[in-house]
Amino acid sequence: MSDSYLLIDDVKKEFQREGDTPLRVIDGLTVHVENGALLSILGPSGCGKSTLLNIINGLDDVTSGRIVINGTEIGVKSRSAVKIGVIFQEPRLLNWRTVRDNVRLPLDEMKIPRAEANERVDRYLDLVGLAEFGDYYPLRLSGGMRQRVSLARGLAIEPDLLLADEPFSALDEITARKLRLELVRIWQATGRTIVFVTHNIREAVFLSTRMLVVTARPCTTHLDLPIDIPHPRLPEDDRLFEIEKQVTRDFMRMEEASA
């Protein structure tokens, strides 16, 4: 599958420990992700999901194997060769900057001309439904609105890949449900490839074109499951519920086997 947009190719990651054997966190993980996919990654706490995101983001190097994004092999030294947007669990906004200035911050760092940067800021704030809130400061916004600002900031760099690290886990369920619907709408509108990490099986099933379930540390693939139900989806769709039940049963068996 040489045409994979994102290739995680037999990746292993170990951390050295003084006076002890290396700690292996990822053990031969291989994933092929097509352009425009929304891939969710689900696994037990502490299994290495965040480590994997850091490697994909070029913040850390593999011990062996490789990460390739749109034909470019990624590592700490080559991180600047691709544009990767990130949405974190917390919005990580600067409270002394306006919404518009927060979204423009990475564009200023990229030295995007101010006129183009302002146009992008306005376009992506409009896309996330916050066109009227550009002059607000983050502390005047709800938690869900702040997360929308974070999403606009991640999209404004027009990334080759968008990484989402449990972005809705700190929100109440009603707000999280609304933002899942918004994320799908924005994903379809932009065509971006998204890697979405979550602990929530229902969330993963609802959002994803594919689900990757990984094992406990050292993590490797346990289940690679396409979700073939077309978007837009309804959260109450019985077909999604059946997939959720299947994945939950399989996940519990995996947890019991590793206990």
Q: Is the pLDDT score of 2 beyond 50?
A: no
pLDDT digits (tens, 9 = 90+) for 93-152: 999 999 999 999 999 999 999 999 999 999 999 999 999 999 999 999 999 999 999 999
3-class SS letters over 55-69: HHCCCCCCCEEEEEE
Residue 109 maps to a domain: no
Bridge partners (DSSP) listed for residue 17: 20
User: Residue 71's domain spans which residues?
Assistant: 1-34+45-78+193-259
Residue 74 maps to a domain: yes
In whole angstroms, give the CA distance from residue 8 to residue 28: 9
Contact between residue 121 and residue 101 where contact means Cβ atoms under 8 Å apart: no
Residue 65 maps to a domain: yes
Q: Are strands 72-73 and 64-69 parallel, antiparallel or unpaired?
A: antiparallel
Question: How many CB atoms lie under 10 A from the CB of residue 159?
Answer: 20
Instruction: Give the DSSP letter of residue 229.
Output: P
pLDDT digits (tens, 9 = 90+) for 192-214: 999 999 999 999 999 999 999 99
pLDDT of residue 259: 67
Q: How far is CA 34 from CA 203, 215, 226, 236, 241, in A?
A: 21, 22, 12, 27, 25
Residue 116 maps to a domain: no
Nearest 5°: CA angle at 258, between 257 and 259? 95
pTM: 0.94
Measured in whole angstroms, how far is the alpha carbon of residue 223 from the centre of its chain?
A: 18
Q: Is the pLDDT score of 165 beyond 60?
A: yes
Residue 125 maps to a domain: no
Residue 39 maps to a domain: no
Residue 55 maps to a domain: yes
Counting the structural domains of the chain, the total is: 1
Residue 6 maps to a domain: yes
Tell me if residue 21 falls in helix, strand or coil.
strand
Measured in whole angstroms, how far is the alpha carbon of residue 5 from the centre of its chain?
A: 15
Q: How far is CA 181 from CA 89, 174, 192, in A?
A: 17, 11, 16
User: Which of the residue ranges 10-14, 22-26, 157-161, 255-259 would you say has the lowest mean pLDDT?
Assistant: 255-259
Q: At what angle do helices 99-109 and 143-156 cross, to 10 degrees?
A: 30
pLDDT of residue 255: 83
Q: Is the pLDDT score of 258 beyond 70?
A: yes
45 pLDDT band, cuts 50/70/90, is confident
User: Which of the residue ranges 15-19, 30-34, 122-126 would you say has the lowest mean pLDDT?
Assistant: 15-19
